Amino acid sequence: MMVVAVSAAAALAVERFPPPDFTDHQLPQTTTPHGRWLGWEYFDMAALAAGLVLASYFALGRRSRKGLVGLATVAMVWLGFWRQGCVCAIGAIQNVSLAVFDPSYTVPLTVIAFFALPLLVTLFFGRTFCAAVCPLGAVQELTLVRPVRVPGWVDQSLGLVPFIYLGAAVLFAATGAGFIICQYDPYVGFFRLSGNAAMITFGICLLVIGLFIGRPYCRYLCPLGAIFGLFSRVSGRHVRIPPDECIQCRLCEDACPYGAIRPPTVPQTPAERARGRRRLGWMLALAPVLVVVGTGLGYTLATPLSLVHREVRLAERMKLEEAGKVEGTIDASDAFRNTGRPARELYTEAIALRERFAFLGGLLGGWVGLVIGMKLVHLSIRRKRDEYSPDPAWCVSCGRCFEYCPSEQQTLIQELPTLEKSGV
């Protein structure tokens, strides 16, 4: 765990040798410039709440793509470039996990707000947070130039990666091994205009991909998106493509760059239905098997997973140095030796940690197995759809499809005079 033992108070006991007697010279004070005013946090929270309300209003009430784009730009500038990527709803998952498992960790209020408010809104209105409040989403939304359609099967399979990422992030955060979502945040270097070279390169690559493939991070990586997808499925008032009734004109079929629009279903023959039911039965039976297999596989990952933890890495390094399998020492092993702590203690701790990671690796593997199993089940269930509608798990409420819909155009034209009058 990340229990920090600061011996600041222990310094009290140290007796200091007096500085020289100067005839007339005042000792300067060490300056302690303060950081950001803490009150800004409340501003951030208020801004978040306002952003969520506005985004939901633009997506569901006004059905205004322009409003969403404008809001996304503001979010990108405010949360991205101004606040430099921290605080972030995606990263908040880790703080929350750490807070659950380590009572000594103080989770900031802003983090709680950034974790809970978007989830709450998603539960009722779908992923409007993704549409226009998340700075990462905004960057991708605004840099999508030439959308290329990705085959549905790619979405279905790669769409599982966020769940795996989520499991790993929670695992590492809860064990105090690190915040991997933050370490591998591709856009934060872009917001700060600095960062380490590898991450900047990764960011550039994702931006380039994002020119053609809509929201690559949101769709194939974002762990929060995975949770949002689940929440959004039950959202009561999700974005609809036609404002009222679908006339099945098929104009919106290709409108979505994120592959979220599902066409109406066609009726099946009884034979097909029977086959489908049998298949579903098989998939349901397969799911527990996958969980067991996943658990087993995850269990074998104890060593690689535990190596993410600094304590284990250090113990491993010390052992290598002891065995003479590596040349020289590193700062961390030197620092450890200088503390005078017996190495055995470190090894005991590291072995205990590894055992813990074996257990947690099993859990992670089981989770991945469960996710895959559920996906297979999900892909085998047929739901009836009468009109073109967005898949709530995939739809980020970006509002692109609105203008494709002739019904929408109709309403717009009807509303035009009133709008002009009201000066919009």
Partner 1 sequence: MIGIAVVLAVAIGAVAVSRVPRSGDAGSGLPQRFDYDLKTHKTIDPALILYRQAGELPLDLSASRAVAVGPEDRIYVAGDQKILVFDREGTRRSEIALESEPRCLAVGGAGNKEPGRIYVGMRDHVEVYGPDGTRQAVWERLGEKAVLTSIAVADSADEHDIFAADAGHRVVHRYDPSGKRLAEIGRRNREQKIRGFIIPSPYFDLAVTADGLLRVVNPGMHRIEAYTFDGHFEEPLVWGKASLEIEGFCGCCNPANMAAMPGGGYVTAEKGIPRVKIYGADGNFVGVVAGPDVLAPTATITEETREDHKLEVVDVAADSRGRILVLDPAARKVRIFVARNPQMETKS
Partner 2 sequence: MASSSDKLDRRQFVGNGVRIAGAIGLGGFVGFLAGRRGSADDTVWQIDPNKCIACGNCATYCVLDESAAKCVHSYPMCGYCELCTGYFEPDPNDLNSGAENQLCPTGAIVRKFVEEPYHEYSIDEALCIGCAKCVKGCNAFGNGSLYMQVRHDRCLNCNECAIAVACPSQAFVRVPASNPYLLKHKGTGA
Partner 3 sequence: MTDTTASTSEATAPQVQSLYRIARAVIAVAGVFVVLATILMLWDFSRRQAKDPLESPKYLALKAQLAKDPRNEQLKAEIRELDLLLRRQYFRQRQFTQIGTWLLLGGAVVFVVAAKTAAALRWRPPMPQPQPVPLDHDATLGRRGRWAVVGLALVLSAAVLVLAASCQTELPQTLEASGKTEISAVNQAAAAIPGKSGASTPETPPSGAADYPTEDEMAKAWPRFRGPGGLGISTLADPPTKWNGISDEGVVWKTAVPLPGNNSPIVWGNRVFLSGATEEKREVYCFDTGTGELVWQKEVPGTPQSTAKLPELSEDTGFAAPTVATDGRRAYAIFANGDVAAFDFAGKLAWSRSLGIPKNSYGHAASLSVYQNLLIVPFDQGGTKDGLSKLLALDAATGKTAWEAKRQVPNSWTTPIVIDNQGRKQIVTAADPWVIAYGPADGKEIWRAKCLRQDVGPSPAFGGGTVFVANEFPCLSAIRADGQGDVTDTHVLWEGEDGLPDTSSPLATAEYVFLLASYGTLTCYDAKEGKILWEQEFDATFTSSPSLAGARLYLIGKEGKCWVVEPGREAGKIVAESELGEECVTSPAFQPGRMYLRGKEHLFCIGSK
Question: Among residue numbers 267 through 306, which ones bind partner 1 (CB under 8 A)?
Answer: none
- Per CB under 8 A, the segment of 38-46, 95-103, 158-166, 191-199 that binds partner 1 is 191-199
The two structure tokens encoding residue 189: 């270097």
385 binds partner 2 (CB under 8 A): no
Widest Cα–Cα separation across the chain: 103
- Pick what 390 binds: partner 2, partner 3, partner 1, none; C-beta below 5 to 8 Å, kind-dependent: none
Cα angle for residues 254, 380, 267 (degrees, 5° grid): 65
341 binds partner 1 (CB under 8 A): no
| In the complex, least distance from residue 160 CB atom to partner 3, rounded to whole angstroms | 6
Which parts of 389-418 interact with partner 3 (CB under 8 A)?
A: 404, 406, 409-410, 413
Q: Dihedral sign, CA of 62, 131, 147, 250?
A: negative
Given 56, 175, 232, 235, the residue binding partner 2 (CB under 8 A): 235
Given 84, 108, 308, 316, the residue binding partner 3 (CB under 8 A): 316
Which parts of 18-57 interact with partner 1 (CB under 8 A)?
A: 18, 20
The two structure tokens encoding residue 281: 């039965």
Whether 2 contacts 105, CB under 8 Å? yes
Whether 407 contacts 244, CB under 8 Å? yes
193 binds partner 3 (CB under 8 A): yes
Whether 346 contacts 318, CB under 8 Å? yes
Q: Total residues at the site for partner 3 (CB under 8 A)? A: 88
- Pick what 126 binds: partner 2, partner 3, partner 1, none; C-beta below 5 to 8 Å, kind-dependent: none
Position 139, amino acid: V
Q: Total residues at the site for partner 1 (CB under 8 A)? A: 36
Helix (H) or strand (E) segment spanning residue 397: none
195: left (phi over 0), alpha (psi -120 to 50) or beta: left
324 binds partner 1 (CB under 8 A): no
Taking the least distance from each CB to partner 2, the nearer of 103 and 270 is 103
Residue 340's contacts (CB-CB under 8 Å, 6 or more residues apart) are: none
249 binds partner 3 (CB under 8 A): yes
How many CB atoms within 10 Å of residue 122? 28
Residue tagged 């004070």 (tokens): 29
Taking the least distance from each CB to partner 2, the nearer of 18 and 267 is 18
208 binds partner 1 (CB under 8 A): yes
Position 166, amino acid: L
- Pick what 124 binds: partner 2, partner 1, partner 3, none; C-beta below 5 to 8 Å, kind-dependent: partner 2
Cα gap 122→140, rounded to integer Å? 20
Taking the least distance from each CB to partner 3, the nearer of 60 and 283 is 283
The two structure tokens encoding residue 212: 């053609």
300 binds partner 3 (CB under 8 A): yes
- Pick what 213 binds: partner 1, partner 2, partner 3, none; C-beta below 5 to 8 Å, kind-dependent: partner 1
